[in-house]
Each structure stands twice: as C-alpha cells, then as structure tokens.
Copies of this chain bind each other. A is one copy, B any other.
C-alpha cells in the first residue's frame, strides 16, 4: 500500500514534519510519501491561498494516481478536498474531516485549537459543512498568531480553556503544522489530542485495506 500526503503549501519544513509523523504512524506497514504542492504559497490561510494551490494539488493527484492507493490533504482547512475527491477514483482524505469525525467518536464534544483567531469563522464553516456543529464545543486559538507553531504553551492554554470552560472532552489540533505535539499535549491535558495527519492516515489506509473509496454517482462524479 502506498499513500501520498499532499501538503497544500510549499514549505519544506512543514512537509518534513508531516512526513515524520506519517512515518511514525505507518511504522513500516505501508509506504507513505509527503510532497509539497508545486506553485503553492508558503502557508494556506486564506481562500486565495487555497485557490492558488489548486492546480498544483490536481497535478499531484493526476501524476501519482497510478502509483498510489490513496491521497491525503494535509492542511486542517481541507483546501480543495471536494475537488480532489471528484478527479480520482482513489480515496482522498482531509486531515480536518478525518480528525473531527474521529473526535466525535471519542467523547461528547471536541474543541479545535487553531493557529490564530482570525480563522475561527472559517473553521466553523468547515465544521458546519461536515455536519459536526452538534459535536463542537468550541474553536479556540491564542490571541496572537504564533510565529512558532511548535511552541506548545499558547496551545495548551487554549486547550485548557476549551476543556474547562467549553466542556470539550477531546482536543483536535487545527493545523498540520502542529503535527507531533499531540502526545505531549495529551499527557498534560488528560484527554485525547488528535493529530490530523495521523487521523487521515488511519482512515485512508483503512479504506484502502477495505477496498472502499468515494462514491462517484453524483456529487463527486468525474463528468465526461
């Protein structure tokens, strides 16, 4: 089994850290490769970033469709996920959708910890798109966007507030750049902390194993 993780941005650092988490989960059971998106911006934050990344993401799927068994979109806002689900018969899994739907199985409600506050409405629009409003405790982020995503401090504070004030029972890391933080944060917080990269690999590798993929009958039909 071979899974291709598409990092929708062009940052080599983020690509490397995603790949590191992916290899740890795969643990030799299947092959996983993470690629940055050609022509994409350094960070996917706005609708423009997603639009600019679209052609490169389509290209990655099309060039690798024969060789790979499944694709993952490794940005928590799941940019262009519907688009990629449409163009290939292979399974495509977004880290946002995978992590939040798994979160709904592990506790009464979840909170998403995001990189900043300006994108909270965008996260909530995605949560609604996935019919998950009823499972959402809150979306929280540090007041100031963090220069350094790997610094746990501000995210731990946001998560603690989510758990104690918003009654969240599960924490979802709301940025692919947070990959690798789940273990230590879960230990600190005492509740499950979900890493989207891990969650998407869990779903994607399972779908391949089960021989399942996107329904092509209407919403994601390829057209002629």
List of B residues within 8 angstroms of A205 by Cβ? 206
Which residues of A are in contact with B by a Cβ distance under 8 Å? Answer: 25, 27, 29, 45-48, 50-51, 54-55, 58, 80, 82-83, 85-87, 91, 93, 97-98, 101-102, 104-109, 117-122, 124-125, 128-135, 163, 167, 169-170, 183, 190-192, 194, 198-199, 202-203, 205-207, 209-223
In the bound complex, how far is the Cα of B216 from the Cα of A133, in angstroms?
A: 22
From B51, B86, B125, contact of A48 by CB (8 A): B86
List of B residues within 8 angstroms of A121 by Cβ? 108-109, 167, 169, 218-219
Asked whether, in the complex, the Cβ of B206 is within 8 Å of the Cβ of A192, the reply is: no
List of B residues within 8 angstroms of A48 by Cβ? 58, 83, 86-87, 223
Can you list 20 A-B contacts with CB-CB less than 8 angstroms, sorted by A residue number? A25-B209, A47-B86, A97-B105, A102-B203, A104-B131, A106-B215, A107-B214, A107-B215, A107-B219, A107-B220, A118-B218, A118-B221, A121-B218, A128-B129, A129-B129, A133-B134, A167-B218, A169-B218, A190-B217, A202-B209
Assembly stoichiometry (copies): 6
Asked whether, in the complex, the Cβ of A51 is within 8 Å of the Cβ of B47, the reply is: no
Given A120-B218, A212-B194, A80–B51 Cβ distance below 8 Å? yes
Asked whether, in the complex, the Cβ of A93 is within 8 Å of the Cβ of B119, the reply is: no
Given A51-B80, A93-B105, A206-B205, A122–B215 Cβ distance below 8 Å? no
In the bound complex, how far is the Cα of B156 from the Cα of A174, in angstroms?
A: 33
Given A205-B206, A218-B118, A219-B125, A104–B101 Cβ distance below 8 Å? yes
